[in-house]
């Protein structure tokens, strides 16, 4: 299987809209509009065009030439700017084939090199075992358990914080 992380372009409006409307949202941020429209995609792709390589890395996860997911590392602000927040999503049909494990390995390496970060942070719902496993397989360490850290669809969740520091990644 050929897994590539490629930069988004404005011509990805259709594939981004399809991805965001099809993805399983149970563990995703409510920031992702639902339904996801063409104008949502246009706004986001314009934001990415401005931020790419400066305040973040944003990549389409491409398998056999099809966009099946999205992954990003976004630099935090102010005194936290040496830290980046990792986020990702993958279409359900492609789960459990090792795709996101490889994608996280690739973007973590790129983010340390290109964004001059000292660490990368990820937050997962305690019940999101697959996501925690992806992070652990990439050397991310469990750093904190945040009780009642988030609410999704009316249910309160415990959040687990994972981190990878630069020297442990190399
Ligand atoms: C989380 C997600 C990215 C995982 O991607 P993926 O490509 O399926 O992950 P991988 O195949 O690389 O690895 C998944 C690991 O979790 C394990 N796993 C999956 N479901 C599991 C479960 N219910 N219980 C225990 N382990 C599980 C797999 O066996 C695998 O581990 P292994 O290699 O040791 O066997 C994907 O499921 C997804 O997009 N989910 C929805 C969005 C999301 O949760 N985003 C993350 C927000 S932080």
* 141 CA to centre of ligand 1 in angstroms: 16
Dihedral of alpha carbons 151, 152, 155, 161, sign = negative
Share of the chain above pLDDT 70, in %: 99
* 138 CA to centre of ligand 1 in angstroms: 13
**Of the candidates 21, 24, 47, 42, the residue with the CA atom closest to the CA atom of residue 33:** 21
**131 Cβ inside 6 Å of ligand 1:** yes
Domain coordinates in residue numbering, the chain = 3-169
Taking 80 as the threshold, does the pLDDT of residue 9 lie above it? yes
Q: Please tell me the total number of residues recorded for the chain in this structure.
A: 170
Q: What is the mean pLDDT of residues 54-61?
A: 98
Report in angstroms the alpha-carbon separations of 104 from 10, 11, 25.
24, 24, 19
pLDDT of residue 170: 64
Q: What is the mean pLDDT of residues 152-169?
A: 97
> What topology is assigned to 3-169 in CATH?
Aminopeptidase (3.40.630)
**100 Cβ inside 6 Å of ligand 1:** yes
Assess contact for 123 and 161: CB atoms under 8 A: yes
Q: Which of 130, 134, 138, 164 to mutate to test the pocket of ligand 1 (most atoms within 8 A of CB)?
A: 130
Give tens-digit pLDDT for 66-103: 999 999 999 999 999 999 999 999 999 999 999 999 99
């Amino acid at each position: 299987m050929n897994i590539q992380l490629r930069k988004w372009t404005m011509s990805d409006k259709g594939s981004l809209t399809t991805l965001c409307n099809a993805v399983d949202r149970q563990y995703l941020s409510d920031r992702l509009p639902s339904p996801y429209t063409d104008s949502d995609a246009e706004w986001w792709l314009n934001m990415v065009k401005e931020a790419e390589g400066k305040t973040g890395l944003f990549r389409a996860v491409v398998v056999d030439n099809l966009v099946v997911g999205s992954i990003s590392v976004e630099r935090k602000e102010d005194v936290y700017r040496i830290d980046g927040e990792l986020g990702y999503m993958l279409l359900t049909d492609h789960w459990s084939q090792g795709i996101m494990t490889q994608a996280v390995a690739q973007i973590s390496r790129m983010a340390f090199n290109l964004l001059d970060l000292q660490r990368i942070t990820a937050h997962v719902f305690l019940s999101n075992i697959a996501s925690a496993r992806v992070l652990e397989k990439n050397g991310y360490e469990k750093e904190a358990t945040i009780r009642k850290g988030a609410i999704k669809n009316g249910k309160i969740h415990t959040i687990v914080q994972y981190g990878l520091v630069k020297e442990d990644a190399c």
